[in-house]
Structure 1
Amino acid sequence: MSEERYYADDVPETHQPYVAAADRYQHLDYRRVGTSGLLLPPISLGLWWNFGDDRPFETQREVLRHAFDRGITHFDLANNYGPPYGSAEENFGRMMRTDFKPYRHELVLSSKAGWDMYPGPYGKLGSRKYLLNSLDESL
């Protein structure tokens, strides 16, 4: 039995442009993060296993839209979220270009690196080279 894969580039764009809920900031209390001045909701959405190419892109889109419509503005990503590795960042990037482009100034994105990513001595455990490559590929 072969595993079904969903590729973001194969999914047609939404026919209806996304318009975020006008009352999206009425659902949660936002909290200051240290002395940075940054305000975050008490809950964030992590895109680990449910945003890879093994899930339908439209389902991912629906989850992210619903979260944002309810006031979640912090999304957590990593270079090896998927599966396969990197696909969650790629899928989120596609939604940033389409659905969330008008709202990008309202979002806080976090990412991380430091686990295995590719074969060889620099593909794991957070070497400087690995971290710089991960940052470059995430951007």
Structure 2
Amino acid sequence: MVYQANATRYQTMEYRRCGHSGLKLPAISLGLWHNFGDETRVETSRQLLRHAFDLGMTHFDLANNYGPPPGSAESHFGRILKEDFLPYRDELIISSKAGYTMWTAPMATGDRAST
């Protein structure tokens, strides 16, 4: 079944302008630190994202070490974005962070102090 977003999703959420950019951010964002990794069913993550978006939440926060395991939250979010939210992509603000340790490798330390 194709996801159809709530038509009234922007009527109850409070939004604030981001500086002088004109970008409007919701008063609350959804961080995908836990409940979006391999240990959570994709359907559970999908339902949580759909419900948040239906309530007017348009900002989703990720990082390269979110999971568990690290990186899996970004992979799962990308899959759900492609399958459910592609028609709404222009309405979403997706933020991520990088530089955190994910695995042992020469370029994966995330140690910015040594650069």
- What is the TM-score when the length of structure 1 is the normalising length? 0.77
Aligned ranges for residues 48-63 of structure 1 at < 5 Å?
Answer: 48-63=33-48
Distance 1:101 1:108 in 2: 13
Distance 1:120 1:77 in 2: 22
**1:54-94 superposed Cα distances (whole Å, 9 cap, x missing partner):** 01111100000000000000000111110111110110101
**Alignment identity in percent?**
61
Aligned residues: 113
Distance 2:111 2:14 in 1: 35
**1:93-136 superposed Cα distances (whole Å, 9 cap, x missing partner):** 01111100100000000000122122144312354xxxxxxxxx
Distance 1:47 1:110 in 2: 10
**Residue of structure 1 in register with 2:82 after alignment:** 97
Please state if 1:64 is matched with 2:49: yes
Distance 1:17 1:121 in 2: 42
Distance 1:104 1:122 in 2: 31
Q: Is the partner of 1:18 in helix, strand or coil?
A: coil
Distance 1:64 1:86 in 2: 18
Please state if 1:114 is matched with 2:80: no
Q: Are the structure 2 counterparts of residues 112 and 29 from structure 1 closer, same or farther at C-alpha, using a change threshold of 3 Å?
A: same
Whether the 8 Å CA contact 1:41–1:73 is kept in 2: the answer is yes
- What is the TM-score when the length of structure 2 is the normalising length? 0.92
**Residue of structure 2 in register with 1:29 after alignment:** 14
Distance 1:98 1:125 in 2: 31
Which residue identity is paired with 2:16? R
Which residue identity is paired with 1:23? T
RMSD: 1.5
Which structure carries more helix by proportion?
Answer: 1
Please state if 1:41 is matched with 2:26: yes
Distance 2:81 2:60 in 1: 12
**1:10-47 superposed Cα distances (whole Å, 9 cap, x missing partner):** xxxxxx10000000001112100111111000000000
